[in-house]
Every structure is written in structure tokens, then in C-alpha cells.
Amino acid sequence: MPDLDIDALLAELTLEEKASLVIGGDFWHTAPVERLGIERVMVADGPHGLRMQPDGGDHVGIGGSAPATCFPTASGLASSWNRSLAAEVGAALAQEARVQGVSVILGPGINMKRSPLCGRNFEYFSEDPYLAGELALAMAAAIQEQGVGTSLKHYAANNQEDDRLRVSAEVDERTLREIYLPAFERVVTGCQPWTVMCAYNKVNGTYASEHHWLLTEVLREEWGFEGLVVSDWGAVHDRVASLVAGLDLEMPPSKGRSDVAVVEAVSSGALAPEVLDRGVRRVLRLVSQAMPTKDATPPEPAYEAHHALARRAAAESAVLLRNDGTLPLALSDGQTLAVIGPFATAPRYQGAGSSQVNPTTLDVPLDELRAQLPTHVHLTHADGFGLDDSSNDAALLAEARDLARQADTVVLFLGLPAAAESEGFDRTHLELPANQLAVLETVAQVSNRVVVVLANGSVVRTSAWEDRVGAVLECWLGGQAAGGAVADLLTGAGNPSGKLAETIPLRLEDNPSYLNFPGDSQKVVYGEGLFIGYRAYDALALEVSHPFGFGLSYTSFSLGSPSVSVAGSVGDELCVSVTVPVTNTGAVEGAEVVQVYVSDPAASVRRPEQELKGFAKISLGAGESGEVQVDLDERAFSYWSTRLGRWVVEAGEFVLRVGTSSRDLPHAHSIDLDAPSVAGPLDRDSTLHEWLADPRGRDVLLGAFDSTGSAGFIDDDLIHVIGTMPLSTLAGFGLGGFNHDLLDKLVSEL
């Protein structure tokens, strides 16, 4: 089908038809206009697997969706730190979307993990905006290369489920710019997603769906977004106000209300016709984008290949948190492996809510382990605890204790039950369920070879128990093939290479958002500002269970001293290249993630101790060496100046720290960057310190002091006391003849 002639269609559409187009047709489709040949376009949930709801589905997110491959959730995939893997998953999602007639996948979700309690954290990548942006860009670009659109969500500052449809996120602009918006910016500027989905919540008192600054000034005018802004389902409160702000499509449609309001507003003159036309034009552009793929013959379903990809993705997403040599399992004939936990036979592999996928198949961990273990290794299993019913826990615990006592090695499958985390509500603590902890303690008393395999969407506290076991493998919610991936990793058929995309704190109270989460009275104050995740733990020098970027392997790696080259300059295509030699010093093949953090030790504003600004993953055989190159652009050294209203780089020293986690950075390299002054213009209310720090201001001011005979009053000791005073205040003192008239003259000279 040829591209739609949007200008011609706009001229022919009636006011009522235009109003219908900007509110959608039904729960999962845009509105058609059959008389003009405008077809409807289907959208579907799909951050980690397609949830295409046919007409008989429940639409809320529980059941009735068509089968699709369930990949690891974002919390898992982020731990791979692998852009190429994220792209492979994206391409697979797009292929399945085409098979099912879906034109736009509602994802990826890239909100920051401000608190580990957010019930939807399993759908989000990281506590770090750079990592989230890089992986989301890889996924979204790969989806759209297949002719299927994406919907970047949830824009913006949607970091909790508690009161999510009403709560106002009270957050300053610098924090928004440096923490909560960069991942969105990276994807928008990197691949122009077809749609961006606005969040439910308010931002500083204004609903995201009506937020002109977010939807128009930042998204379109600054970042150059060309696509369509769609509401989260049910996020529109005032259709006319949201149109004015820049929200193009309301989903699902509020027929008989929103369309009527739009028609009445245009008819009365309250809404300019060109504002409505702007939204209609963007809807028609989306329909036009979708037509070539929609009308083409869909690809053959590749579910077997996608299941294999899901298995590889699950293996690469798992993070080995602890290992005293217990893993990989080394069991000989006649030995016994006891597997304990209901997750071994009924795995928890995805989150609950709108992203819940109906998998094409499901690997069962116990079955996969049985298939990989040597024939004469005895495999036993006990539940050990109940998931939804704890009435029989005492008997289950006794059975687990007996099996563990008789076994050579025990693998405990623990984690959060589905009822503990979901879209719609937040968690209240970080602990594993009490009956699971009781099993762990009991088993650890009778066995000295215990492995814990975790299944959870967001972090759980490990500090209370991990020293009681030999190994801990964090598998997140690994998708439909997680059972096979876990078996691969336990037996050594695969080697863990995942790295934490979020910090695991010693306790919930250490989290920087603790005192301000989830807020109250329909407000949540982002009082920690820039300092979320590792930025806060580093600034406070807090011990953590496992730092951001951490993950063990069955092999070992050595990073050589990095070489650094600088090309260009600030304001003129600056590129700092960091090349790092890497050697696999162990006995098996493995992969390492080289991480580059930037520190500004002498910043004039408060900045985090260090921030992730680059990474690269490299796979090496035993004894093999290679190198990675990480390129840093000007943005890697910038901060958002609220005074100047733009990104700035301060001249001076920057330190590049290179290593394998935020707390393991053995290499540091200093560079000096020349940059224009970021000091604002001097005025009457600039302080004495600020005048003296500016070369021209200092000369003018000291000259004035000399001319009035007041220079003798200004010595270092006095400056130390009065340096923070505005010159207007000092002029009021009349010190040595320095007065308001003289200050006005100095300001005029500058």
C-alpha cells in the first residue's frame, strides 16, 4: 500500500472523524475511517514477550493472550550488559509481532529503579540511565528495523506503583535531566521510536498527559521527536488539555466523552483547529508507517529458534553473586543432588500484570537438570515450603531436611512468589518469605554444600543469609527457557557472565529513597536528587552486599592498563577513546564486562563520585587476550546547569576509572579538558567569591577597591568570612567608600 496522502486526508476528514482518530478505536487499535481508506493499527504489550489480546481477551493483563516467546524481563536482560543480545531479542519480538498482526509493541520500559520496592521494577532495566538507555536503544532499533513500531515508556518519573495514577513526582530539573530523562533522550535521538507513552503520574503537579514542557518543549523541540505520543491506558484526564500539551492519541478511547469534548472545544473556539490537526497528522503518520509491514506477508513463526535465543538470553542474564567453588556442580556416579523448592517444578519466570505472556513452551528446571546430570547421579526433590499455602510447611521442612542431610550437594530454588511483586502495587520490604528462609537455615545446618538459585524481578536482601551457603545464582525472571539456562549454568555447560544492573544493599534502610518512598498525600518528593543507586552508596561510603556492575564467573580475567586518546574538543565533536586490554586468565571460556566511569573531582556543583559512561562486553577463550574500546563523547563529562539551562562541561581534570564493577575500578587515568567558562554573568547579587573567581570581575573589583582606599580592608581572613556575601550587601555596609553607586558602575562596565 502506498504512503497515505496525509494532507489530502486532513482536508477531507470531518471534525467528528478527526476527534475519533485522536482517541483510538478500541482497547488495542487506533480508529479507522473506512470511507477514506484509513485502516486501524493494532498495538500490544510486549516488553519481554508479545501479549497480543484477541477480541476475547480480558484486556487487563491476566489471560487470553496468544502464545508468544517469553524472554527474560528487563531486570534480567539488563544484567547481560549486552547490546547485541538486546537487539536479537528485539528482532525476535518484532518477527512475532508481524506474525500476530501487531504494528506497535508497547515497550521497552526504561524508568529508573529509584527504589528496589517498585512493584514494576522487573519491567525496567537499571538504576543507571546510561545503561538503560544503551540497552533500550539496541532493542528498540532492532524492533523498528523489522518494520514494527515501539512505544518508549513510561514518560516520565514513573518510579512507583503506589497511587501511580494520581501521585505527583516532585523532582528538580537537574535531577530530571541527569537521571530520569537521559534514557528516553538516548532512544529518541538514537532511533526515533514510532511512539512515546506518557506516564500516569503527575510531574511537579501536572499530569504527564498534560505536561507541555515534557511532551512538547523537551521531547519535540529539544530532542527532535517526530513520532506520536500515546497515553498509558487510562492516563488521560482532560482530552483537550492533553492535546494542547502534545498528547496525540488517547488509549483506550473514552468514546462519548473525549471525542465530544474535542468537537465542542473546536466548535466553540476553545481549541485551535490546527492543534487538533497536529494530533491527527501524527496518528495518520503512524498508520502510514505501519501499512507496508501490515500488508506484507508475515514471516513464518520461528518459535523454536526464539526459544533457543530465550535460553541463551536467560543464561547471559544470570549473575553469580557468590561461589566458594561449589559451582559448577561436580558430581560423580553414585552421588546425590537434592533439589529443594517448588520453583524447581513450577518455575517463576515472568512478572504479573499487563506484561504477562502466554509462553509457547516452558522449561522445567528439575527436568532440565535431570537431562544434563550424569546417568548415575541420584536426583531427589522436595518442595520444602509452600508458595500460596503455608499450612503444611512443617512437614515440607522436615522432608527437605532429610533429603539435604543425605545429599552430597543441595540446590535451593528460592525467590519471590508472584503475589509479592506485580504491576499495581509496591513491595514493602526486601526479604525472602519467612518459610523460605526457614528452609535455607535448616538445610545449611545439615549440609555444607548448598547452592541458592534465585527467581525474582527486583532485588532481595541477601546479607542476612548468603554467608550460610556456598553459591548464590541470581536468575531474575528469566523467561520461558530459564529452566534450561539454569541447568546449563549449574552444570558448567554455560558460564555466568551477568553483571548487576542495580545495587543490592545490605538493608532497605540504606536505600537513598527510603525516607521519601512512596510519599503521601498524593505527593512523592525525590529528596535524594541525583543520588540514586550506586551514586548514593558511593557518596555515603556505604557498604553494600553486591555493588552495581558486579558479577562472578567460573573463570578469571585481568584488565591491563588502559590507553586513552582525546580527539576534538569541547563544543567540537569531543571523543575520548579508552582502550583496555583484557585477558582470560582462567581455564574455561567466559565473558567480561569492562566498565568506564567518569569522575569530576573539582566540579563547582555537586556531582556523584563517579558515573557509568561506557562499557563493552568481550568473550574470550581460556588464556585468550583481546581488547575493548569505549568511546566517550562530550555528554559523558557534562552536567545540567540550571543557571544556564543547558549541558555544560567545566574545564579542568576528569578521572576515568576502569574496572569490572562500581567498587572494583583498579585503573584510573586523568585527562584535562579545556572548555569555556560556565560561570554566569556577574551582577549585583553575585558574591564576593564569584567576583574574585572571574578574571575580569576580579580586576575591575580590585581596581575599585584601590580607587576608594578600601583595599586594605580586604585581606584573606576577611574574604574567608564575607566571601559568600553578595556585593549588593557589602555595598550597603559602605566599607571604605564601596557603595551602591560604585557597584552599579562596575556592573555596567562588565
The residue annotated as part of the active site, out of 163, 232, 383, 393, is 232
Q: Is 256 left (phi over 0), alpha (psi -120 to 50) or beta?
A: left
Cell numbers placing 166: 494520581
Copy the grid coordinates of residue 637: 563529562
Beta-carbon count within 10 A of 299 CB = 12
Q: β-strand 667-673 against 378-382: which pairing, if any?
A: unpaired
H-helix or E-strand spanning residue 557: strand 557-559
The span from the CA of 217 to the CA of 232, in Å, is 20
8-state DSSP, 78: G
> Cα dihedral angle (647, 649, 655, 660), rounded to 10 degrees?
20
User: Radius of gyration of the chain from Cα atoms?
Assistant: 29
Distance, CA of 153 to CA of 229 (rounded, Å): 10
DSSP secondary structure string, 244-262? Answer: HHT--B-SS--TTTHHHHH
Task: Region of 517 please: left (phi>0), alpha (psi -120 to 50) or beta.
Answer: beta
User: Cis ω on the peptide bond leading into residue 328 (within 30° of 0)?
Assistant: yes
Tell me if the bond preceding 154 is cis, omega within 30° of 0: yes
What span, in angstroms and rounded, lies between the C-alpha atoms of 637 and 576? 10
In angstroms, the CA 27 to CA 18 distance is: 18
Q: Residue 439 is placed in which grid cell?
A: 528452609
CA angle 551, 554, 557 (to 5 degrees): 70
Any alpha helices (H) in 105-214, and if so which ranges? 129-145, 173-175, 182-191, 212
Query: For residues 350 and 483, what is the distance between their CA atoms, to the nearest angstrom?
Result: 12
624 CB-contact burial (10 Å; exposed 0-12 / middle 13-18 / buried 19+):
middle
Closest by CA position to 455, among listed 478, 435, 471, 429:
478
Nearest to 510 by CA among 437, 430, 455, 434: 430
3 state SS of 219? helix
**For residues 436 and 449, what is the distance between their CA atoms, to the nearest angstrom?**
18
CB atoms under 10 Å from CB of 729, counted, come to 14
Q: What is the separation of C-alpha 356 from the centre of its chain, rounded to a whole number of angstroms?
A: 19
| CA atoms 609, 611, 616, 622: torsion sign | positive
Reduced to 3 states, what is the DSSP secondary structure of residue 162? coil
232 is a catalytic site residue: yes
336 C-beta neighbours (distance < 10 Å), count: 15
C-alpha cell at 712: 586594605
Q: Give the catalytic positions in this structure.
A: 232
